Amino acid sequence: MFEELGERLVSKPEIALAELIKNAYDADSPDCQITLDDTQIVVADHGHGLTESEFLNNWMVVSSPAKGKQRYSRRFGRSMAGSKGVGRFSARYLGRMVELTTVADVPGGRIGARTKLTATFDWTKIAQVQKIGQVTIDYRVRLAKPGEATGTTLRITQLRDEAEAISVAKVKTDILRLTDPAAGLERPAFAFSHKDTGPKNDRDPGFTVSFTNAASTPELVPPSVASEILKAFVGRVRIQVTESGRLSYKVFWDRSEKVLDEGWFPLADVARDYSANALKLKPGQDADERGLPLELEDVSHLPMSLQLHSPVFIDIRFFPRRAGTFSNLPVNGKIAQRWLSEAASLAIVDNGFAMPAYSDRGSDWLGVDASKARNERAWQSVFTPVYYPMKPGAREDPRLNPMLALPRGTQLVGRIHITTQKRPADSLISDDWLQPNMDRESLRSNGAFRLLWHVARFAVELLAHHDRAQRLKLEEKKVRDAQKQARTSLSAAIEEIKSSPNIDPAYRRRVVEQLTQAQDQFAEATAYSDDAKRSLEVMSMMGVMAGLLTHEFEKSLATLTLAAELLDKLPRPSAEVTAALIQLRAYEAELGHFRDYMRLIVDKARELKPQTFKARAQVNFTAKTLGHLADRYGIAVVVDIDGKLPGPAVPVAAYSGIVMNLMTNAMKALIPKVPGEPRRIRLYATNEGTHHTLVCADNGIGIPVYVRTRIWDPLFTTTASTDEDNPLGSGLGLGLSVVKQVVQGLGGRIELLDEAPPGFATAFKVTLPLEAKES
- pLDDT tens-digit series, residues 584-634: 666 666 666 555 555 555 444 444 567 788 999 999 988 887 887 788 889
Sheet holding 412-418, edge to edge: 259-266, 246-253, 235-241, 312-318, 412-418, 345-350, 353-354
For 364, residues 6+ apart whose C-beta sits below 8 A from its C-beta are: 370, 409
490 is a domain residue = no
> Could you give the CA distance from residue 242 to residue 224 in angstroms, rounded to a whole number?
31
| pLDDT higher than threshold 50 for residue 538 | no
For 109, residues 6+ apart whose C-beta sits below 8 A from its C-beta are: none
- Whether 400 and 532 map to the same domain: the answer is no
What mean pLDDT comes out for the span 496-507? 77
Helix (H) / strand (E) element for 454: namely helix 447-499
Torsion of CA 295, 300, 306, 307, to 10 degrees: 180
For 143, residues 6+ apart whose C-beta sits below 8 A from its C-beta are: 113, 114, 115, 116
Give residue 375's identity as a one-letter amino acid code.
N
Can you point out the beta strands (E) in 351-493?
A: 353-354, 412-418
287 is a domain residue = no
Can you point out the beta strands (E) in 77-186?
A: 95-105, 114-122, 138-143, 151-159
Task: Check residue 159 and give its pLDDT.
Answer: 87
What mean pLDDT comes out for the span 58-82? 67
724 is a domain residue = yes
Domain count, the chain: 4
- Whether 108 and 180 map to the same domain: the answer is yes
Of the residues 212, 244, 271, which one is the last residue of a structural domain?
A: 212
- Whether 259 and 201 map to the same domain: the answer is no
Task: Check residue 406 and give its pLDDT.
Answer: 95
Tens digits of per-residue pLDDT, 100-150?
999 999 887 777 789 999 999 888 888 777 665 667 788 999 999 988 999
290 is a domain residue = no
Q: What is residue 744's three-state secondary structure? A: helix
Task: Check residue 114 and give its pLDDT.
Answer: 92
Helix (H) / strand (E) element for 578: namely helix 575-605
Looking at residue 489, the DSSP 8-state letter turns out to be H
Of the residues 444, 475, 506, which one is the last residue of a structural domain?
A: 475
Task: Check residue 200 and give its pLDDT.
Answer: 46
> Could you give the CA distance from residue 533 to residue 525 in angstroms, rounded to a whole number?
12
Domain assignment of residue 622, given as a range: 610-775
Of the residues 441, 475, 509, which one is the last residue of a structural domain?
A: 475
231 is a domain residue = yes
| pLDDT higher than threshold 70 for residue 304 | yes
Looking at residue 668, the DSSP 8-state letter turns out to be H
Q: Are 81 and 178 in contact (CB under 8 A)?
A: no
pLDDT-based confidence at residue 260 (cuts at 50, 70, 90): very high
> Could you give the CA distance from residue 659 to residue 652 in angstroms, rounded to a whole number?
11
- Whether 710 and 652 map to the same domain: the answer is yes
- Whether 304 and 188 map to the same domain: the answer is no
Q: Are 683 and 618 in contact (CB under 8 A)?
A: no
CA angle at 27 for the pair 442 and 190, rounded to the nearest 5°: 55
- Whether 257 and 398 map to the same domain: the answer is yes
SS percent in the chain: helix, strand, coil, step 5 = 40, 20, 40
Task: Check residue 160 and give its pLDDT.
Answer: 81
- Whether 313 and 337 map to the same domain: the answer is yes
Tell me how long the chain is: 775
Give residue 548's identity as a one-letter amino acid code.
L
Of 27-36, 199-208, 339-348, the range with the lowest mean pLDDT is 199-208
Tens digits of per-residue pLDDT, 435-456?
888 767 889 999 999 999 999 9
Average per-residue pLDDT in the chain?
79
Q: Which of 273, 274, 268, 238 is nearest to 253 (CA)?
A: 238
- Whether 646 and 601 map to the same domain: the answer is no
> Could you give the CA distance from residue 404 to residue 371 in angstroms, rounded to a whole number?
9
How many beta carbons lie within 10 A of that of residue 146, not counting itself? 8
Pairing between β-strand 345-350 and β-strand 412-418 as defined by DSSP bridges: parallel
Q: Report percent pLDDT > 70 for the chain.
A: 74
Can you point out the beta strands (E) in 342-464?
A: 345-350, 353-354, 412-418
Tens digits of per-residue pLDDT, 505-534?
877 777 777 777 777 766 766 665 555 554
Q: What is residue 724's three-state secondary structure? A: coil
How many beta carbons lie within 10 A of that of residue 656, not counting itself? 22
What mean pLDDT comes out for the span 639-658? 89
Residue 203 sits in a domain whose CATH number is 3.30.565.10
> Could you give the CA distance from residue 501 to residue 506 in angstroms, rounded to a whole number?
12
| pLDDT higher than threshold 80 for residue 234 | yes
Which is higher by pLDDT, 170 or 235?
Answer: 235
492 is a domain residue = no
pLDDT-based confidence at residue 194 (cuts at 50, 70, 90): low
Task: Check residue 369 and give its pLDDT.
Answer: 93
Q: How many CA atoms lie within 13 A of 699 on its CB side?
A: 15
Tens digits of per-residue pLDDT, 358-387?
887 778 999 999 999 988 999 999 999 888
CA angle at 367 for the pair 362 and 370, rounded to the nearest 5°: 85
- Whether 95 and 114 map to the same domain: the answer is yes
Q: Are 573 and 567 in contact (CB under 8 A)?
A: yes
Give residue 679's identity as a one-letter amino acid code.
R
Q: Are 651 and 608 in contact (CB under 8 A)?
A: yes
Task: Check residue 129 and give its pLDDT.
Answer: 73
DSSP string computed for 41-94: EEEEE-S----HHHIIIIITSTT-HHHHH--B-TTT-PBPS--S--HHHHHHHH
Highest mean pLDDT among 52-66, 513-527, 601-615, 647-661: 647-661
Task: Check residue 475 and give its pLDDT.
Answer: 84
Q: Are 47 and 29 in contact (CB under 8 A)?
A: yes
Which is higher by pLDDT, 272 or 512?
Answer: 272
10 is a domain residue = yes
- Whether 90 and 46 map to the same domain: the answer is yes
- Whether 420 and 557 map to the same domain: the answer is no
- Whether 260 and 323 map to the same domain: the answer is yes
Tens digits of per-residue pLDDT, 682-730?
999 999 999 999 999 999 988 887 677 777 765 555 554 444 444 454 4
Helix orientation angle between 505-541 and 447-499, rounded to the nearest 10 degrees: 160
Chain center to CA of 156: 46
Task: Check residue 552 and give its pLDDT.
Answer: 44
For 27, residues 6+ apart whose C-beta sits below 8 A from its C-beta are: 45, 47, 48, 49, 73, 151, 152
> Could you give the CA distance from residue 753 to residue 247 in angstroms, rounded to a whole number?
53
Q: How far is CA 764 from CA 200, 637, 646, 665, 755, in A?
A: 82, 15, 20, 10, 10
539 is a domain residue = yes
Question: What's the longest Cα–Cα distance across the chain?
Answer: 118
